[in-house]
Amino acid sequence: MITSNISNFIPTLISQIPFDISNLQLDHFGYQTSSSLDYENLKKECLNIGELLSENIVSGRRVAIFKLNEPLLSNGFEILGFELVEPKEEQICDSELDHLEFVIPISFEEYIKLHKNVNWDISTMNREAFPKIALKLNDGKSVKFHIKDIFEEIPD
Protein backbone atom coordinates (compact mmCIF):
# COMPACT_ATOMS: atom_id res chain seq x y z
CA MET A 1 0.00 0.00 0.00
CA ILE A 2 1.18 3.51 -0.74
CA THR A 3 1.08 4.52 2.93
CA SER A 4 3.28 1.67 4.22
CA ASN A 5 6.34 3.91 4.70
CA ILE A 6 4.53 7.17 5.48
CA SER A 7 5.50 7.18 9.18
CA ASN A 8 9.18 7.45 8.17
CA PHE A 9 8.67 9.54 5.04
CA ILE A 10 6.94 12.53 6.63
CA PRO A 11 9.42 13.17 9.47
CA THR A 12 12.36 12.62 7.11
CA LEU A 13 11.15 15.33 4.73
CA ILE A 14 10.05 17.71 7.50
CA SER A 15 13.49 17.46 9.11
CA GLN A 16 15.04 18.84 5.90
CA ILE A 17 12.92 22.00 5.75
CA PRO A 18 15.17 24.88 6.85
CA PHE A 19 12.39 26.97 8.45
CA ASP A 20 9.45 26.55 10.81
CA ILE A 21 6.36 25.01 9.19
CA SER A 22 4.46 24.21 12.40
CA ASN A 23 1.80 26.87 11.69
CA LEU A 24 1.04 25.51 8.20
CA GLN A 25 -1.48 22.93 7.05
CA LEU A 26 0.05 19.75 5.60
CA ASP A 27 -2.91 18.92 3.41
CA HIS A 28 -1.56 16.04 1.33
CA PHE A 29 1.30 13.87 0.22
CA GLY A 30 2.17 12.72 -3.28
CA TYR A 31 2.90 9.22 -4.50
CA GLN A 32 4.75 8.82 -7.82
CA THR A 33 3.97 5.70 -9.81
CA SER A 34 6.48 3.98 -12.07
CA SER A 35 4.28 3.46 -15.15
CA SER A 36 0.76 3.89 -16.51
CA LEU A 37 -0.01 0.27 -15.56
CA ASP A 38 1.32 0.84 -12.03
CA TYR A 39 -0.85 3.97 -11.84
CA GLU A 40 -3.97 1.99 -12.85
CA ASN A 41 -3.26 -0.80 -10.36
CA LEU A 42 -2.50 1.56 -7.48
CA LYS A 43 -5.53 3.73 -8.25
CA LYS A 44 -7.74 0.68 -7.67
CA GLU A 45 -5.87 -0.15 -4.46
CA CYS A 46 -6.16 3.44 -3.23
CA LEU A 47 -9.95 3.18 -3.30
CA ASN A 48 -9.57 1.05 -0.14
CA ILE A 49 -8.15 3.99 1.84
CA GLY A 50 -9.76 7.00 0.20
CA GLU A 51 -12.35 8.47 -2.10
CA LEU A 52 -11.27 9.48 -5.60
CA LEU A 53 -12.33 13.13 -5.93
CA SER A 54 -10.65 14.08 -9.16
CA GLU A 55 -8.45 12.84 -11.97
CA ASN A 56 -6.95 15.44 -14.29
CA ILE A 57 -4.11 15.86 -16.74
CA VAL A 58 -1.47 18.06 -15.09
CA SER A 59 1.81 18.72 -16.89
CA GLY A 60 1.04 15.99 -19.42
CA ARG A 61 0.19 13.13 -17.06
CA ARG A 62 -2.73 11.90 -14.97
CA VAL A 63 -2.96 13.02 -11.36
CA ALA A 64 -5.63 11.50 -9.14
CA ILE A 65 -6.66 13.32 -5.97
CA PHE A 66 -8.00 11.24 -3.10
CA LYS A 67 -9.56 12.22 0.22
CA LEU A 68 -8.48 9.76 2.91
CA ASN A 69 -11.24 7.81 4.67
CA GLU A 70 -9.30 8.32 7.92
CA PRO A 71 -6.94 11.29 8.26
CA LEU A 72 -3.29 10.45 8.86
CA LEU A 73 -1.64 11.99 11.91
CA SER A 74 2.09 12.67 11.81
CA ASN A 75 4.41 15.21 13.41
CA GLY A 76 1.48 17.22 14.73
CA PHE A 77 -0.20 17.40 11.32
CA GLU A 78 -3.53 15.95 10.20
CA ILE A 79 -3.27 14.91 6.56
CA LEU A 80 -6.58 14.64 4.73
CA GLY A 81 -5.59 13.60 1.23
CA PHE A 82 -3.04 12.46 -1.29
CA GLU A 83 -2.16 12.59 -4.97
CA LEU A 84 -1.39 9.58 -7.13
CA VAL A 85 0.86 10.75 -9.97
CA GLU A 86 1.43 8.99 -13.27
CA PRO A 87 4.90 9.43 -14.79
CA LYS A 88 5.29 11.81 -17.70
CA GLU A 89 5.89 10.20 -21.08
CA GLU A 90 9.47 8.87 -21.27
CA GLN A 91 9.99 9.54 -17.53
CA ILE A 92 11.76 6.74 -15.69
CA CYS A 93 11.03 6.67 -11.97
CA ASP A 94 10.35 4.36 -9.07
CA SER A 95 6.97 3.79 -7.53
CA GLU A 96 7.32 5.59 -4.20
CA LEU A 97 6.30 8.38 -1.88
CA ASP A 98 7.46 11.56 -3.58
CA HIS A 99 6.47 14.82 -1.89
CA LEU A 100 4.57 16.72 0.81
CA GLU A 101 2.44 19.79 0.16
CA PHE A 102 1.66 22.56 2.62
CA VAL A 103 -0.84 25.41 2.42
CA ILE A 104 0.65 28.86 3.05
CA PRO A 105 -1.45 31.79 4.35
CA ILE A 106 0.21 34.48 2.22
CA SER A 107 1.20 35.01 -1.42
CA PHE A 108 4.10 33.11 -3.00
CA GLU A 109 6.07 36.35 -3.30
CA GLU A 110 5.61 37.17 0.39
CA TYR A 111 6.52 33.63 1.45
CA ILE A 112 9.66 33.64 -0.70
CA LYS A 113 10.64 37.03 0.75
CA LEU A 114 10.07 35.63 4.27
CA HIS A 115 12.47 32.75 3.50
CA LYS A 116 14.91 34.46 1.14
CA ASN A 117 17.84 32.16 2.03
CA VAL A 118 16.01 29.19 0.48
CA ASN A 119 16.75 28.10 -3.08
CA TRP A 120 13.13 28.01 -4.25
CA ASP A 121 11.93 26.26 -7.39
CA ILE A 122 9.43 28.77 -8.78
CA SER A 123 8.94 27.06 -12.15
CA THR A 124 5.25 26.27 -11.44
CA MET A 125 4.42 29.39 -9.45
CA ASN A 126 2.45 31.02 -12.28
CA ARG A 127 0.93 27.85 -13.71
CA GLU A 128 -2.84 28.09 -14.20
CA ALA A 129 -3.65 24.67 -12.71
CA PHE A 130 -2.25 23.87 -9.26
CA PRO A 131 0.35 26.69 -8.95
CA LYS A 132 3.01 26.16 -6.27
CA ILE A 133 6.55 26.83 -5.18
CA ALA A 134 8.86 24.00 -4.16
CA LEU A 135 11.87 23.18 -2.09
CA LYS A 136 13.92 20.42 -3.72
CA LEU A 137 15.60 18.14 -1.18
CA ASN A 138 18.91 16.30 -1.45
CA ASP A 139 17.31 12.87 -1.88
CA GLY A 140 15.33 13.89 -4.98
CA LYS A 141 12.15 14.42 -2.98
CA SER A 142 10.43 17.77 -2.60
CA VAL A 143 8.25 19.83 -0.33
CA LYS A 144 5.74 22.05 -2.09
CA PHE A 145 3.75 25.06 -0.94
CA HIS A 146 0.49 26.33 -2.37
CA ILE A 147 -2.12 28.96 -1.50
CA LYS A 148 -5.28 26.81 -1.51
CA ASP A 149 -5.66 23.32 -0.13
CA ILE A 150 -5.79 20.47 -2.63
CA PHE A 151 -9.57 20.09 -2.37
CA GLU A 152 -10.16 23.78 -3.21
CA GLU A 153 -7.92 23.43 -6.26
CA ILE A 154 -9.97 20.69 -7.91
CA PRO A 155 -11.52 22.04 -11.12
CA ASP A 156 -15.32 22.11 -11.27
Q: How far is CA 23 from the centre of its chain?
A: 18
Provide the residue type at 40 as one letter. Answer: E
pLDDT for the residue 13 = 96
pLDDT for the residue 153 = 83
Domain layout of the chain by residue ranges: 24-151
Query: Within 10 Å of residue 44's Cβ, how many Cβ atoms?
Result: 9
pLDDT for the residue 156 = 62
Global pTM exceeds 0.85:
yes
Find the Cα–Cα–Cα–Cα dihedral 151, 64, 21, 118, rounded to 10°: -120
pLDDT for the residue 140 = 85
Considering the four listed CATH numbers 3.30.360.10, 3.40.50.150, 3.40.640.10, 3.10.180.10, the one that applies to the domain covering 24-151 is 3.10.180.10
Mean pLDDT, 10 residues at a time, over the chain (156 residues)?
Answer: 92 96 96 96 97 91 96 95 94 93 97 96 91 91 94 79
Q: CA 146 → CA 40, 49, 61, 131, distances in Å?
A: 27, 24, 20, 7
Taking only the tens place, the pLDDT of each residue in 79-116 is 999 999 999 988 889 999 999 999 999 999 999 999 99
Q: Which of 140, 115, 110 is nearest to 125 (CA)?
A: 110
